[in-house]
Structure 1
Amino acid sequence: MKKSPKTVLAENVKRMMDARKWSQSELGRQSGLGQSTISSILIEKVDTSIDKVEMLAKAFKLPTYALMIPDLDEAMFKHNGLGDI
């Protein structure tokens, strides 16, 4: 079954946070987004603007589109010099 964009984004943000051992508060500091916004994204409560996706991606040092790839494999981006944990 195809995942919704909200689900893909939430799963990828959770995966990237876990890889870095970041809390929602830390992701907020790194991205410039409020903790309540991050919480809403993680529970798939809101439609997230591309601007916010871009802010999250920059915090993770990934291209913006990467957070919308189902089952994101960050190792692929690291190997190709596009991301960094």
Structure 2
Amino acid sequence: MRAELPGSAGVVEDWPGMLRRAGLTQIGGFTLLLDLPAPVDESARTFLHARLTRIRETMSESWMRRTARPSTCCSTRTRRAAS
């Protein structure tokens, strides 16, 4: 589909490399596929709830650690606003 657009170019680099060059240094990801027919039973709901709760807690802690320290971007904005 992209190749059909006029002037399009194929991406010759990987996403992590492009994101790093954009200044995003904490690059990571994961994929999970669990294909169960609906409606799922109680054990599947219990597993899913526990898994999503753990991911939320882990990501919340990680996000709080990253946002707790000032970055040059935010401190620059704060200085400008205070001026």
TM-score (ref. length: structure 1): 0.25
Structure number with the higher helix fraction is 1
TM-score (ref. length: structure 2): 0.25
Between Structure 1 and Structure 2, whose CA radius of gyration is higher? Answer: 2
